[in-house]
Amino acid sequence: MSTPILPNSVAALRLPTEILAAIFLDVVDPNEADWLEVINARRRIIYVCTRWRAVASSTPALWSKIYVAPTFLPSFIGECLSKTSSAAIVLKVSPHVIRTIEDSGVRRTLKFLPFQDFLDRTVELLRPHFPRVRSLEVGDGYKSHIFEVMERLATFSVGCLSSLRLSASDTYSMGSPPLPLGIQPTGLSVRRVEPLWNTPELYGAVTTLSLARLSWLRWPDLQLVLQSCSSLQELRLSNVQCSTPLDAGRAILRNVAAFKLRYETKADRRFVGFIEMPSLQLFELVACGSGTLDGVARDMPNVLRTAANVLVETDQYNVDELTDLVALCTSAHTINLRECRPLPYKALLGLRLIPGFSLPLLRVLKISDSLTSDDAAALLAVPFGGDLVVNEWVLGDWICVQWRLVDGQISSAVVEGDSGKAGFLVR
């Protein structure tokens, strides 16, 4: 006996082609970080029925994200590429072998090509389609394999490539891999791969630069890379260490508006103090694991004094370190102390002991911790300057929405808690 088709199922089968295609595109998110999930979602769609397969196959944007790895047969990659038609392609090439895959709770063992066959048969399929590649990621493999893949891709013609990401799984230093001729990405991200290409035109269009897991850089090399990025607007450094001589010159990045710094281990961060960003709007500092705030105020005072918005997230600090850091944020309109342990309000109370302390431009202070009413009251007593007009403070469960200043100190404030009731805290 056949399974009856429910009324809702009939309605789904009768949807117009344009509506079905829109639904498929919503299900297969091109921004999904898990590439295997994109492949599985497409497969689940085309196995429903003949019409869904036809609609999906005739929707190029659905196939625009292509994952190339030794696990996937050349015939499969070729079929996916043919369905992209003339659409721009987001491409990931990985020499990493995926041995098993799980779909709908079922784990399957996969076959895979030897690496050389992968280069000759699968990667070579990309050649006629490469001018349509908008974003390229090569990673999740040994650096020697990454280099061989890039040597093959370097012989391809470049068209609309605007984003390049390289990532290796080992830390062995091999220099910089070859790149396709004429590449001018606006986004460049490297992880455990030296970004030291002697091609100034490569960096000229870069607006976002991300460097991660680099521990063997010399400051003159990094300085040259940074200054070559004449259009740079956002700089991200994650677990980067760089040897800095005492007489090191400065790298002046005039257009950088956002600087994001992350450390998970103890590291020498003095080189950051040699980077000047006069237009800096956002500074994010994340120190987790064994990474601490130790020496941050000492090593990068220019960054702290320049940033208009400061976000700090850490679980390893002492009160004096955080106090010194906040005290240097003299240009800050917003300070956000997120997930800081122990409670950061103790560090802010220490600001009262600094002679001449003032944050005259501060408008928003956020602390993502649950504070008592006494804690909130103590924070309101911190002198933040005679011209202070704060619009919003978020102190754990307490949101301060209105107050009055007397001689540069808060005299009274309306405070709203989770209960929704308002009250006055009078100093």
Compute the chain's Rg from CA coordinates. 27
How many Å apart are CA 127 and CA 145, to the nearest integer?
Answer: 19
**Euclidean distance between CA atoms 60 and 109, whole angstroms:** 29
Whether the per-residue pLDDT at 198 is higher than 80: the answer is no
Taking residues 196-221, report their average pLDDT.
85
With beta carbons less than 8 A apart as the criterion, state whether 145 and 97 touch: no
d(CA 167, CA 133): 18
415: closest CA among 405, 406, 396, 407? 396
Query: Taking the model in full, what pTM does it have?
Result: 0.81
Q: Where are the domains of the chain?
A: 1-62, 64-206
pLDDT, residue 237, reads 95
pLDDT exceeds cutoff 70 at 257? yes
Distance from the first to the final alpha carbon of the chain: 80
Query: Which of 149-153, 267-271, 274-278 has the least mean pLDDT?
Result: 267-271
Average pLDDT over residues 124-150: 90
Mean pLDDT score, 74-95 = 90
Count CA within 13 A, CB hemisphere, residue 99. Answer: 0
Is the model's pLDDT at 123 over the cut of 50? yes
Residue 309 has pLDDT above 70, yes or no: yes
Look at 358 and 416; give whichever has higher pLDDT: 358
Whether the per-residue pLDDT at 401 is higher than 50: the answer is no
CB-CB contact of 173 with 198 (8 Å): no
Residue 205, token pair as written in the block: 């269009």
- Spell out where 267-317 has E strands: 275-276, 282-287, 309-314
Comparing 405 with 167, which gets the higher pLDDT? 167
Q: Which of 282, 285, 160 is nearest to 233 (CA)?
A: 282
pLDDT of res. 105: 66
Higher pLDDT, 426 or 318: 318
pLDDT of residue 422: 39
Least confident among 59-68, 91-100, 257-266: 91-100
Split at pLDDT 50, 70, 90, the class of 425 is very low
Range with the poorest average pLDDT among 311-320, 325-334, 399-408: 399-408
pLDDT band at 340 (very low <50, low <70, confident <90, very high): confident
**CA–CA distance, 12 with 305 (Å, rounded to integer):** 58
Residue 51 confidence (pLDDT): 87
What does the pLDDT read at residue 420? 41
Exposed/middle/buried for 78, CB within 10 Å: 0-12, 13-18, 19+? middle
**Would you tell me the crossing angle of helices 50-57 and 17-27 to the nearest 10 degrees?**
80
The residue among 213 and 107 whose pLDDT is bigger is 213
Higher pLDDT, 255 or 143: 255
Output phi, psi for 366, to 5 deg.
-125, 135
- The mean pLDDT of 71-88, rounded to a whole number, is 88
Q: What pLDDT sits at residue 211?
A: 93
Q: What is the pLDDT of residue 408?
A: 47
The per-residue pLDDT of the chain, averaged, comes to 79
Predicted local distance difference test score (pLDDT) of residue 394: 55
pLDDT of residue 403 exceeding 70, the answer is no
pLDDT at 138 over 70: yes
